[in-house]
Structure 1
Amino acid sequence: MIDLKLREVKEDLSAKELEVAEYIIANSQQLKNISIQALAKLNQVSTSTILRLCNKLGYRKFSDFKIDLISSMPKKISSEVLQDDIHLNDCLQVVNQKVQMVEKSSIDETYSMLNSDDLDKAIDLIINGHKIVIYGVGSSGLVGKELEYQLIKIKKDVNCHFDAHISRNIVSSLNPHDLVIIISHSGETPECIELLKLANKQNIPSIAITKMGQSQVSNLANIVLHTISTEHVSRVIPIRSKISQITIVNMLVTNLFIKQYDEKLLSKTKKREECKYP
């Protein structure tokens, strides 16, 4: 969904990049056979401007951007109820309806932004990682604990501590065969940035689960899995960002279980079923 991705990174675009993006969306049906050179000439910009726009939207090449634009025309995932925050004078039923709509749209939008290649690479890093350190602050840390619990099920050596000092000490002991996973909605959490810099210094692979757009966390991580950045409901209750992070974690874990589903896990599943349904 190009319009969704544009909305997520709009603040990071230059004036020329924004003009090109709006032109592409307005003329998407006519862009099937257009080259990057022709598009640049039509908008009176350089091809490097268009490539920067594609990179900011999560595409490595212009051709990837064009294929996505043509093959999956944007569909609006919106509702009037999502245009307003939850108010203090809302009744219980209205609050519940708004929360439901926020959660549904968060899952749909996260799926729409998902880069399958990056997800597959992240899965391989987790499978091959000898030791894994997960870190996040606040609600992101709670999502990290959920990921830790799920990875323990497939017998991974994983740690998720809320204390940044403990995490820093553990990361200091890692090597290039290990892995660091950072969860940060803003992408600017100081502790997360520090851990990624430390990981890079020691050549430790890293995965970041963070909002779409340019940030220090996304620039430092080897693999970035994007979550949605819009937060209609007050950040005191970060429903959208948390649901988006959980969606990414569930996709990671489900695919990991499928790839790691060996005889031991099959036996464990059967024993659990037998205990529950003798």
Structure 2
Amino acid sequence: MSIHDNILIKIREMKDSLTPVEKMVAEYVLQNVEEIPHLSIKNLAQLTKTSDASVLRFCKTMGYSGYRSFIVSISASLGSMEEQKDQYTDIQPGDDLSVIISNTSRNNIKSIEDTLSVIDKNEVDRAVQVLRKSNRIVFFGIGASGLVGIDAEQKFSRINKMCHTYTDGHSQLTAATLLDKGDVAVFISNSGKTSEILDSLEIAKKSGATIIAITKYNKSELADKANIVLNISTPEVTIRSGAMGSRIAMLTIIDILFAGVASAEYKNVKKYLTKTHNIIAASKHR
């Protein structure tokens, strides 16, 4: 477990994909966080109207070997929450501009911190390796996720990687049809349920390309069908704030992947980074 792991974020994000009995435990834990460290496994089983075995199963689903290590992690999360005291804040009518500036900035910082809690370093490592070996990288995203794909294309192009982003349903279907075995298809979707993305995913799977998903920490069809899953964690999306949190978290994942590939291949890509930097710098002075 890394020091960034926050079990409360994991429970919140995973809750809806748990079994009904585990979900009862999860909901009780989230609603009564403060008292959890003081409860024995028997107490928690009684309070959640489940059994010791169910509580233990829940702990294992969350990645812990036993109840004790789960409790230690809950205590640590409580400690870090005490330090932060920052919750996501939605857009309120008539907010003062200084409040908007600090809330928006804090929400974005929190999205990145929460993503750091759920991201799996081994999956990032696998993603970097397949991107390094790829013949071609194809990014798929709709709406705000499409903008993340465009950012990714701009970055990976700088190190001379063959890549392209497709941001509408029709061009995505065409691109998925033309994928080959040595290609990497990166599907970007916060919910993991975007219909256009899932349609293209079906076709991409048949091509033999490696599928990377960038999606929220939850069970979804996209996460299930991908070869590599890179998770993000953001606040609940609301009508008011839209996809601000998920966009910043996804851009961070792209930055990590780009830095990972560029760093591992630094000898080879240094010349491209220098050339692209110089040409852009020169164009500014014309």
TM-score (norm 2): 0.78
Letter of the structure 2 residue corresponding to residue 181 of structure 1: V
Partner of 1:8, secondary structure, is helix
Q: Distance in 2 between matches of 1:199 and 1:91?
A: 47
The match for 2:204 is 199
Indicate yes or no: 2:264 matched with 1:259. yes
The match for 2:245 is 240
Q: 1:263 to 1:29 in 2, by over 3 A?
A: farther
The match for 1:225 is 230
Residue of 45, 50, 53 corresponding to 1:44: 53
Letter of the structure 2 residue corresponding to residue 248 of structure 1: I
The match for 1:172 is 177
The match for 1:8 is 13
Shift of 1:88: 2.0
The match for 2:109 is 104
The match for 2:135 is 130
Q: Distance in 1 between matches of 2:207 and 2:146?
A: 23
Q: Distance in 1 between matches of 2:131 and 2:38?
A: 38
Indicate yes or no: 2:254 matched with 1:249. yes
Q: 1:10 to 1:124 in 2, by over 3 A?
A: same
Aligned length: 260
Indicate yes or no: 2:168 matched with 1:163. yes
Shift of 1:172: 1.3
Q: Could you tell me which runs of 5 or more consecutive residues in structure 2 were left unpaired when the two chains were aligned.
A: 1-5, 42-49
Q: 1:238 to 1:23 in 2, by over 3 A?
A: closer
Q: Distance in 2 between matches of 1:175 and 1:117?
A: 25
Give me the identity figure in percent: 26
Q: Distance in 2 between matches of 1:120 and 1:29?
A: 38
The match for 2:3 is none
Deviations 1:142-163 (A, max 9, x none): 0010011111111111110223
Q: Distance in 2 between matches of 1:165 and 1:194?
A: 10
On the 8 A contact 2:88/2:106 being kept in 1, the answer is: no
Q: Could you tell me which runs of 5 or more consecutive residues in structure 1 were left unpaired when the two chains were aligned.
A: 32-40
Q: Distance in 2 between matches of 1:50 and 1:173?
A: 43
Partner of 1:44, secondary structure, is helix
Shift of 1:266: 4.7
Q: Distance in 1 between matches of 2:161 and 2:167?
A: 19
Letter of the structure 1 residue corresponding to residue 217 of structure 2: M
Residue of 184, 189, 193 corresponding to 1:184: 189
What pairs with 1:136-147 in structure 2 (closer than 5 Å)? 136-147=141-152
Q: Distance in 1 between matches of 2:15 and 2:258?
A: 31
Letter of the structure 2 residue corresponding to residue 171 of structure 1: A
Shift of 1:130: 0.7
Letter of the structure 1 residue corresponding to residue 54 of structure 2: V
Q: 1:220 to 1:152 in 2, by over 3 A?
A: same
Q: Distance in 2 between matches of 1:195 and 1:65?
A: 42
Superposition RMSD in Å: 3.4
Shift of 1:84: 4.1
Indicate yes or no: 2:113 matched with 1:113. no
Letter of the structure 1 residue corresponding to residue 244 of structure 2: I
Letter of the structure 1 residue corresponding to residue 100 of structure 2: V
Indicate yes or no: 2:225 matched with 1:216. no
Deviations 1:93-117 (A, max 9, x none): 1111110110111111111111100
On the 8 A contact 2:185/2:210 being kept in 1, the answer is: yes
